[in-house]
Structure 1
Amino acid sequence: MVTAAGAIVAVLLWLLLRSASDVTLGYAGGPVALAAATYASWRVARQPRLARAVRTFWRRLEYASIFLLVASCVSLARANNNTGLSVQTAVPMLCGVLLLMQAFLGLPGPRRTAVGWLRALLDAATVAVASALIFWYAVLDLAPAGTSLVARTAAAIVGVGGVLLLVMIGKATSRPETMVEPMALRVLTVAPIAAIAGTILLIAGADWSRLALSVLALPLVGAAVCGGAALQRRSLAGEPRPVLTHRSLFNLLPFLAVTATAGLVVTVSAQEMTNRQRTVIIGAVLIAGFVVARQLLSLHENTIALRGIRRQQAELERLALTDSLTGLPNRARFGVVLGSRLDSCLPATALLIDVDDFKMINDTLGPAAGDQLLHQVAMRLRDRSAESELVARLGGDEFAVMLPVDDPRTAEEAAGRLLRALADPFDFGDQNLLLHASAGIAIAGHGETADEVLRNADIAMYAAKESGKASWTRFEPQMRQDMVSHALLASELRTAILRGELRLLYQPVYDLVTGRLAGAEALVRWQHPQRGFVSPAEFIPVAERSGLIVPLGTWVLREACEQLARWRDEHGDGAIEAVNVNVAVRQLREAGFVDEVAAVLSDTGLTPVNLILEVTESSVVDGWQVRATLEALHEMGVRLALDDFGTGQSSLSLLRAFPVDVLKLDKSFVDGIADGEDRGRLAVAGAVAQLAEHLQLKAVAEGIESQAQMDRLRAMGYRYGQGFFMARPLPAAECGALMADSRWTSTTVEVVP
């Protein structure tokens, strides 16, 4: 860099002090500066810490500097006052320019397609033709008389090459992928600018112009290369500067070329046409053709890109509005279609279908099998629906059907049709599975939104589940009020658990043969500060739906065990052996329930023998997780009672697989048993007693309300029973008083000798 700068300063001083006839020394600056540029590029190209692409770039600059050095040496050897650029000087100079172009073309950049390369070629052709026209028509006029055509052409080619090189450097500078030091690239822009200026001066051909080529052009090119190399080596000492990613002004050069050519055409058109002027017109037509072709390519690319964007947009919309598992429309799509009908004041009904007990199926067969089953459900609903009905999957095991009707009878018929379709067996591997579902019907009212209609259908669907499942219910406005009341009751129940507003009553269980007190079932009661007594039939379902059944059950379990411990401390052997506690299926699904039971027994000083947990038949078949919990409790020593036996999925296989200790006959089979008119009830009650005897289980009859019922049950073989006839649920103190009676007998139970 210092050498090149020194050469420039030396020649400038020589220009001021030179002899008018001595021009040789003026040409010496070019070889000195370019020799320094060759050496500087050679040093950078051999830096091992630079990326391979950067080393290749500087190696090519080294080769270009060598050719330019040859050109400057030829100029020095031919130092005279001849005008123009000699062929001997122009050939190596043009080779150097081409090598510079190759160096910048080889820099890393965005991957170009065939269309991208064609667009770049059209840009280059536009700039080249425009600059050639300007040199041909305007600059060559500056050449003095006697300048040969070869000299003019050679100078014009070098000038056009300089313009193209300037464009390429500008584009490389603005690319974020370029790995060369950004400031080095900016310094290198001096080279093509000097080449263009020097070429114009060469064409002028005067003595001062030729000396200016040596002083301003070739030495400046050498100095630019030296400066860029120095900046590149300096970047190795620290972090490279970030490359600006804004749109380069050099991208506008093709359009500037068109503007310049247009001005040239206007000038030529105002004169008489000569061959040179015709050349300008032909060049303008070529440029216009290049620009049109380039714009057509861009338009084609934009069309393809827009088409791809639209395809992607359509695919994204499809994915956003489609359920990935079943291929049905999802909740969003269903809401859009339903909302569109409502906005158009068209009749619409939402039918919400939920597969009953699907969690049990999913837990038993596994998630993958559950997904396959949901897919079959979706396909069956779609196949059994009319073309005008939209079937969608809302999520999980919930499906919705949009009916284009507002007639209750038609909507109910559609619900029945679809529920019957789901009741048919499903082929699953080598077995058939039976499913049933519950449905809620909501007919859209005036002014209702899609969300409100779906919410109403959801409320109706839950009402159908509460009424026994496998059925449908049509939404009534009162249901919404009931739902609000249930939500309020759930909030108050949470507060009641925390404030201790709940209490336990204990219904005695008697030995029907001896009349002795054999146990007690803990029953929760709620005395609300404002509502008064709240029936368990009202708040227990609310607790199950809201999840409060878990903390409620925890409180009941601990309170009952603590009370039994107090009875045993107070009455000793006179106290009952075990207390019965009802457990909801939601509690059995809790992972830590077994540990919770063990902790309560340990804290109260009881053993597993002192606890009987009552579960319903539906709990037993809820899934493998509940089954594992029950087996763990049984292995611990806690006895299990099957409550309300006979009303659910009773089967011998269930009793064989379930670790049951006690069967409790449901009250529905005890009612009316005394008169013997209902032979079905008698048959079930007798069968349960015999089944318990053969399986060595304890049978307990619930809901005994008369002496005749008790006598009939005792005759059937029932040893234990409970009901209002013998004793209503009692406070802990009154139940404890029964234990204090040494006879342990009930005044209503006739002792059988």
Structure 2
Amino acid sequence: MTTPESASESRLPTGGLVPVLVAVWANIGVLVWMLIRDADDVRWGYVGGPFALAAATYAGHRVVRVAELPRPVRVFWRRMEIAAAALTITAIITLARANNNTGMSPWVAVPMLVGVGWLMTAFLGLPGPRRTALHWLRGILDTLTIAIASGLIFWYVVLDLAPAGTSLANKVVAAVVGVGGVLLLVVVGKAAAAPETVVHPAALRVLTTGPITCVAGTILLIAGGELSRLALSVLALPLTGAAICIGAYLQCRALNQPSQLSFPARSVFNMLPFVAVVATAGLVITVSAQDMTARQRVVIIGALLITGCVVARQLLSLRENTMALRGIRRQQDELERLALSDNLTGLPNRTRFLVAIGERLEAEMPVTAVLIDVDDFKMINDTIGPAAGDQLLFQVSQRLRDRCTAGEMPARLGGDEFAVLLPDGDPVAAEAAVNRLLLALADPFRVGEQQLLLHASAGIAIADTGEGADEVLRNADIAMYAAKESGKASFVRFEPRMRDEMMNHATLAGELRNGIARGELRLLYQPVFDLVTGRLHGCEALVRWQHPVRGFVSPGEFIPVAERSGLIVPLGAWVLREACEQMAQWRSQFGDGAVEAVNVNVAVRQLRSASFVDEVAAVLSDTGLTSRDVILEVTESSVVDGWQVQETLQGLHDMGVRLALDDFGTGQSSLSLLRAFPVDVLKLDKSFVDGIADGADRGRLAVAAAVAQLAEYLQLKAVAEGIENQEQLDRLRDMGYRYGQGFHMAKPLPAADCGALMAADPVNAA
């Protein structure tokens, strides 16, 4: 079975350590050469550069090839690959010109500047917090400050120490490369200090080795001693190659880790503008001491002292601001923790879960949302009480937390709804992960002295291109409801057709609401006959909908829509009142010849209402009927819904209204229901009547016979549903069934046709 971990690892290319090993050995080779070097032939010292940077180029290309790589990361490492390739050319040219001691030549500088430019482009292109015009202006000013200061220092200090005879071109090239290295160091440092970037922070920090060696190498190449110049000359490019290889390796290892919300750390690189001002001030003092009069020097020194005081004052303000910012961040962290976590379980809440999905979608990373809902939790909570219910939810959260693997994030969305974010877009791996989580909830829970067995339903939604976080979670919710409708204790993966079905249901629900108001619905009546005498004994009210545009809409289509949307309550109220008014008319028209009672189906949502008993009493009073004139039919799933339903049923029974258990025999707890449920009528489900005539299915025969005997023993009325031929009728009557309904005797009829049966002679039941 495929797991999320194995699926993630399978996406990483093989050979991840090979470039790192090549680059490391290249640097070791250079160090060994330094110990045994030949002063007349330095070419061997530069051999490590091409190898290390070629390995870096391959390492960058390897990261780009990773499947499902987020676009910003792909662009960053593509640029790093190009930069490494340009520096590889630099290393090859340096190797070819190693014995020509001509300093920093344009042949070396041009590809080096190209590489530095691509490195800077890679880091500047990283996505980060939204930058305002003020941020851009501040960044430009910082850059100009650092560039001017480092340029002056290179020109007046570093290049002053250059060996005699160094050409102006070499000096200019060295200054440009050195200043570019300083600016690159600032850019890389700021990026490495911002952990909200999509590129792994550890990889970014390793990459600061490149610009540091670039700056140091340029300085020592011009102004250093012979040994230091040689060491940095031969080690600068190999060290840069090793840094890129290690950074690429760290990035590959971190690709499947979900992003985390965090605040950028205060970077030491933010101090560089102040360092640049101080260094420039020192340079001005030094230069002015050589060329100016005493009076001019005093003015210059005074101005510089004022500048120093301003800089010191700014540094103190910066420190105060930093301390204040730390306090604000601590408060923000606490507020964020409270705003983004669930108080009961400590898990991330709905807001945090949506933020995490949004972050991965924005970074174009794969993401799968799993919505988990505890089945029948309302009934459990009503039974054990809210406090014990909270304990149970906490234990559920702990199970999910414990069974989630690295990169998976569990959350509680509210009530008994939980969710898990999977950092994967593979359907097989997602289904394996959901199986693992549902199995974790299948073991018994202990709450106080009670041991409870739970099961849950789950919906899986794999994010598609262009979808938002809300849409992904909504898709998971749709799939979860599909799992519940398919029988609970299972999971369903979202498919686009489910959304279309949901939209159709929503549209149909709106039309149904209008249809109830406009009187588009009508009742038909399914006759219930006495199988012995053949007389009409009762009838069951069945609702039908004649849509003005759609035409006839099947109850199997609009009843589930009514139940899901809550319209079943007003619809059920209309059916009850309409059926009772019709029963009153039959009583007035036929007297004792009318049916004994009218059967009305009642939904579980109606039974959950504390006012339903009063509603039935009001309808009976308004229509002049007694409680014996109506039979309310309920299903087994309705009866076990919770204590509110049980109280409603008991209230109806105490009022004298007879109750029928519909579709009897199909549930899992039918016999136990008869002990707790005040039932008057058992209706044998049609599935046990089908095929009963030929006797081939002995199981159906046994169940049908047992229900008849059970009803007789408990002094209940037994009614067989779905009788479609005379053979079925004869067999059921022989078993002891007194009453039955089905197409063999009569289809659902309009009220007038049903009334005609009341006035007619008995149907021949022989």
TM range (shorter): 0.5 to 0.7
Q: What CA distance in whole angstroms lies between the structure 2 residues aligned with 1:620 and 1:736?
A: 32
After TM superposition, the structure 1 = structure 2 runs for residues 129-168 of structure 1, keeping only pairs within 5 Å, are none
- Please give the secondary structure, in 2, of the residue aligned with 1:473: strand
Aligned to 2:521: 502
Note if contact 1:618-1:649 (Cα within 8 Å) is conserved in structure 2.
no
Structure 1 residue 305, shift from structure 2 partner: 5.3
Q: What CA distance in whole angstroms lies between the structure 2 residues aligned with 1:468 and 1:694?
A: 33
Query: For residue 363 of structure 1, what is the amino acid of its counterpart?
Result: D
Aligned to 2:645: 626
Q: What CA distance in whole angstroms lies between the structure 1 residues aligned with 2:448 and 2:733?
A: 48
Question: Using a 3 Å threshold, how does the CA distance of structure 1 residues 559 and 367 change in structure 2: closer, same or farther?
Answer: same
Query: For residue 367 of structure 1, what is the amino acid of its counterpart?
Result: P
Q: What CA distance in whole angstroms lies between the structure 2 residues aligned with 1:532 and 1:710?
A: 34
Question: Which of 364, 367, 374 is the aligned partner of 1:355?
Answer: 374
Comparing 536-545 with 430-439, greater Cα deviation is found at 430-439
Note if contact 1:423-1:436 (Cα within 8 Å) is conserved in structure 2.
yes
Q: What CA distance in whole angstroms lies between the structure 2 residues aligned with 1:650 and 1:513?
A: 31
Q: How many residues end up aligned between the 2 structures?
A: 457
Query: For residue 763 of structure 2, what is the amino acid of its counterpart?
Result: S
Aligned to 1:679: 698
Q: What CA distance in whole angstroms lies between the structure 2 residues aligned with 1:450 and 1:583?
A: 39
Query: For residue 323 of structure 1, what is the amino acid of its counterpart?
Result: D
Query: For residue 518 of structure 1, what is the amino acid of its counterpart?
Result: H
Aligned to 1:481: 500
After TM superposition, the structure 1 = structure 2 runs for residues 494-573 of structure 1, keeping only pairs within 5 Å, are 494-573=513-592
Aligned to 2:338: 319
Q: What CA distance in whole angstroms lies between the structure 2 residues aligned with 1:360 and 1:727?
A: 39
Structure 1 residue 309, shift from structure 2 partner: 2.9
Structure 1 residue 616, shift from structure 2 partner: 0.8
Comparing 406-415 with 328-337, greater Cα deviation is found at 406-415
Q: What CA distance in whole angstroms lies between the structure 1 residues aligned with 2:405 and 2:314?
A: 52
Question: Which of 450, 458, 462 is the aligned partner of 1:439?
Answer: 458
Q: What CA distance in whole angstroms lies between the structure 2 residues aligned with 1:401 and 1:671?
A: 45
Aligned to 1:143: none
Structure 1 residue 704, shift from structure 2 partner: 1.3
Q: What CA distance in whole angstroms lies between the structure 1 residues aligned with 2:669 and 2:733?
A: 22
Structure 1 residue 302, shift from structure 2 partner: 7.1
- Please give the secondary structure, in 1, of the residue aligned with 2:592: helix
Structure 1 residue 380, shift from structure 2 partner: 1.5
- Please give the secondary structure, in 2, of the residue aligned with 1:505: strand
Aligned to 1:638: 657
Aligned to 1:191: none
- Please give the secondary structure, in 2, of the residue aligned with 1:332: helix
Note if contact 2:664-2:670 (Cα within 8 Å) is conserved in structure 1.
no
Structure 1 residue 627, shift from structure 2 partner: 0.7
After TM superposition, the structure 1 = structure 2 runs for residues 576-725 of structure 1, keeping only pairs within 5 Å, are 576-725=595-744
Q: What CA distance in whole angstroms lies between the structure 2 residues aligned with 1:471 and 1:521?
A: 35
- Please give the secondary structure, in 2, of the residue aligned with 1:708: helix
Note if contact 2:661-2:679 (Cα within 8 Å) is conserved in structure 1.
yes
| CA distances 1:622-645 after superposition (whole Å, capped 9, x unpaired) | 111111111010000000011111
Q: What CA distance in whole angstroms lies between the structure 2 residues aligned with 1:359 and 1:503?
A: 34
Q: What CA distance in whole angstroms lies between the structure 1 residues aligned with 2:537 and 2:423?
A: 62
- TM-score of the superposed pair, with normalisation by structure 1: 0.58
Structure 1 residue 456, shift from structure 2 partner: 0.9
Comparing 612-621 with 702-711, greater Cα deviation is found at 702-711
Runs of 4+ in 1 over 4 A off after TM superposition: 294-306
Question: Using a 3 Å threshold, how does the CA distance of structure 1 residues 337 and 299 change in structure 2: closer, same or farther?
Answer: closer
Question: Which of 449, 472, 488 is the aligned partner of 2:468?
Answer: 449
Comparing 690-699 with 625-634, greater Cα deviation is found at 690-699
Work out whether 1:746 is the aligned partner of 2:766: no
- Please give the secondary structure, in 2, of the residue aligned with 1:565: helix
Q: What CA distance in whole angstroms lies between the structure 2 residues aligned with 1:441 and 1:521?
A: 41
Structure 1 residue 504, shift from structure 2 partner: 0.2
Q: What CA distance in whole angstroms lies between the structure 2 residues aligned with 1:709 and 1:685?
A: 11
Q: What CA distance in whole angstroms lies between the structure 1 residues aligned with 2:587 and 2:723?
A: 27
Q: What CA distance in whole angstroms lies between the structure 1 residues aligned with 2:389 and 2:347?
A: 17
Q: What CA distance in whole angstroms lies between the structure 2 residues aligned with 1:543 and 1:481?
A: 17
Work out whether 1:468 is the aligned partner of 2:478: no
Comparing 440-449 with 429-438, greater Cα deviation is found at 429-438
Structure 1 residue 554, shift from structure 2 partner: 0.5
Question: Using a 3 Å threshold, how does the CA distance of structure 1 residues 402 and 716 change in structure 2: closer, same or farther?
Answer: same
Q: What CA distance in whole angstroms lies between the structure 1 residues aligned with 2:540 and 2:371?
A: 39
Structure 1 residue 301, shift from structure 2 partner: 8.1
Aligned to 1:729: 748
Aligned to 1:493: 512
Aligned to 2:38: none
Structure 1 residue 300, shift from structure 2 partner: 8.8
Unaligned runs of 5+ in 2: 1-312
| CA distances 1:410-444 after superposition (whole Å, capped 9, x unpaired) | 22222223223323222122222222221111111
Aligned to 2:431: 412
Q: What CA distance in whole angstroms lies between the structure 1 residues aligned with 2:753 and 2:395?
A: 57
Structure 1 residue 649, shift from structure 2 partner: 3.6
Query: For residue 597 of structure 2, what is the amino acid of its counterpart?
Result: A
After TM superposition, the structure 1 = structure 2 runs for residues 27-38 of structure 1, keeping only pairs within 5 Å, are none
Note if contact 1:328-1:378 (Cα within 8 Å) is conserved in structure 2.
yes
Q: What CA distance in whole angstroms lies between the structure 1 residues aligned with 2:682 and 2:442?
A: 31
Q: What CA distance in whole angstroms lies between the structure 1 residues aligned with 2:316 and 2:426?
A: 59
Structure 1 residue 602, shift from structure 2 partner: 0.5
Aligned to 1:396: 415
Query: For residue 340 of structure 2, what is the amino acid of its counterpart?
Result: L
Structure 1 residue 514, shift from structure 2 partner: 1.9
- TM-score of the superposed pair, with normalisation by structure 2: 0.57
- Please give the secondary structure, in 1, of the residue aligned with 2:405: coil
Q: What CA distance in whole angstroms lies between the structure 2 residues aligned with 1:709 and 1:437?
A: 40
- Please give the secondary structure, in 2, of the residue aligned with 1:700: strand
Comparing 327-336 with 420-429, greater Cα deviation is found at 420-429
- Please give the secondary structure, in 2, of the residue aligned with 1:441: strand
Structure 1 residue 303, shift from structure 2 partner: 6.5
Q: What CA distance in whole angstroms lies between the structure 1 residues aligned with 2:496 and 2:314?
A: 65
Query: For residue 450 of structure 2, what is the amino acid of its counterpart?
Result: Q
- Please give the secondary structure, in 1, of the residue aligned with 2:723: coil
Unaligned runs of 5+ in 1: 1-293
| CA distances 1:79-107 after superposition (whole Å, capped 9, x unpaired) | xxxxxxxxxxxxxxxxxxxxxxxxxxxxx
Note if contact 2:607-2:648 (Cα within 8 Å) is conserved in structure 1.
yes
| CA distances 1:318-372 after superposition (whole Å, capped 9, x unpaired) | 1111111111111111111111222222221111111122222222222222212
Structure 1 residue 296, shift from structure 2 partner: 12
Q: What CA distance in whole angstroms lies between the structure 1 residues aligned with 2:398 and 2:747?
A: 53
Question: Which of 350, 355, 364 is the aligned partner of 1:331?
Answer: 350
Work out whether 1:341 is the aligned partner of 2:335: no
Q: What CA distance in whole angstroms lies between the structure 2 residues aligned with 1:444 and 1:717?
A: 58
Work out whether 1:382 is the aligned partner of 2:401: yes
Q: What CA distance in whole angstroms lies between the structure 2 residues aligned with 1:687 and 1:542?
A: 35
| CA distances 1:179-238 after superposition (whole Å, capped 9, x unpaired) | xxxxxxxxxxxxxxxxxxxxxxxxxxxxxxxxxxxxxxxxxxxxxxxxxxxxxxxxxxxx
Q: What CA distance in whole angstroms lies between the structure 2 residues aligned with 1:553 and 1:639?
A: 17
Aligned to 2:80: none
Aligned to 2:254: none
- Please give the secondary structure, in 1, of the residue aligned with 2:526: strand
Q: What CA distance in whole angstroms lies between the structure 2 residues aligned with 1:344 and 1:357?
A: 38
Aligned to 2:392: 373
Question: Using a 3 Å threshold, how does the CA distance of structure 1 residues 675 and 547 change in structure 2: closer, same or farther?
Answer: same
Q: What CA distance in whole angstroms lies between the structure 1 residues aligned with 2:539 and 2:578?
A: 14
Identity of aligned pairs, percent? 79
- Please give the secondary structure, in 2, of the residue aligned with 1:378: helix
Aligned to 1:279: none
- Please give the secondary structure, in 2, of the residue aligned with 1:538: helix
| CA distances 1:114-134 after superposition (whole Å, capped 9, x unpaired) | xxxxxxxxxxxxxxxxxxxxx
Comparing 486-495 with 330-339, greater Cα deviation is found at 330-339
